[in-house]
Amino acid sequence: MNEFSNNALSIEGDNQSTSPQHLGVQEWLAVVSILGFMLLLTLIVLDGRHDSRAVVVDGIETVHFLKPQEVEVHIEGSVINPGRYKVKSGTSVMEAIILAEPLEEADLSKIKETSRVKNGLNIHVASRQMVTITVSGAVPRPGVFKILKGTRLSELRNHIEFDENADLSKLAKKRLLKDNEVVIVPVICPKKEAVNASQTIPQQTSLVASKNDKPVVRKLAKSRRTRRLIEAQKHSQRLWSKQ
């Protein structure tokens, strides 16, 4: 009977020693750490559920996180605002370059539309060769301009604004513009018909005047003859009267 009671007491003592009330400080810290980690993991999974996929393998559920929603890229070269940009995952390289405002001489011909950004991607925008020309004459804003190398004189109207009276027929040549070339845009001259008309007006008046002059001369000649005849008649009358 005493042995049974002693065994019962020993079992009860063992149960009391393993109860939560008798856990040590280290055991409590371990339990709290585990619970906190599980809570944090649960919050992360719930918050990023739309960015994660759960795969069950051999009865074990494994969580695979997808790519982040934003990535950081660095853009440099022929752009107005080079630097680092945060864009959405899946953004095309061309869309990222547009954010940096490419310059007119930026060469975007080699950028593929299907190319997508990646985190840490370094994008360098190359430049096309330019030439400098000076434009004056019939233009509202004369000055120095930069245009792409290989631009023709006939294509200048696509890059520069001209006055209404600019003679663009002089710019119809398809030759290539040279670096440091001076282009003078002429003004439309008056039409030849107008010039000829202005020149023929005094000629017509002179002809009319010459036609009018001839009868005047003839009249003067006739009057002189009549005067002479009258004088001759008077002279003969005087002679007859003396006789």
User: What's the pLDDT score for residue 22?
Assistant: 59
Contact 172, 154 (CB under 8 A): yes
- Cα(151)–Cα(135) distance, integer angstroms: 14
Dump pLDDT digits (tens) for 158-182: 888 999 899 988 888 889 999 999 9
User: Is the alpha carbon torsion for 83, 84, 88, 93 positive or negative?
Assistant: positive
Q: Name 76's bridge partners.
A: 124
- Cα(108)–Cα(78) distance, integer angstroms: 10
Q: How far, CA to CA in Å, does 115 sit from each of 93, 99, 166?
A: 6, 16, 45
Q: How many CB atoms lie within 10 A of CB 107?
A: 16
Q: How many CB atoms lie within 10 A of CB 166?
A: 20
Contact 73, 85 (CB under 8 A): yes
User: What's the pLDDT score for residue 116?
Assistant: 93
Taking the whole predicted model, whether its pTM rises above 0.75 is answered as no
Using CB atoms within 10 A of its CB, is residue 168 exposed (0-12), middle (13-18) or buried (19+)? middle
Q: Name 102's bridge partners.
A: 79
The sheet with strand 121-125 has its strands ordered as 83-88, 70-77, 121-125
User: What's the pLDDT score for residue 98?
Assistant: 93
| pLDDT < 70 regions, the chain | 1-23, 45-68, 190-230, 232-243
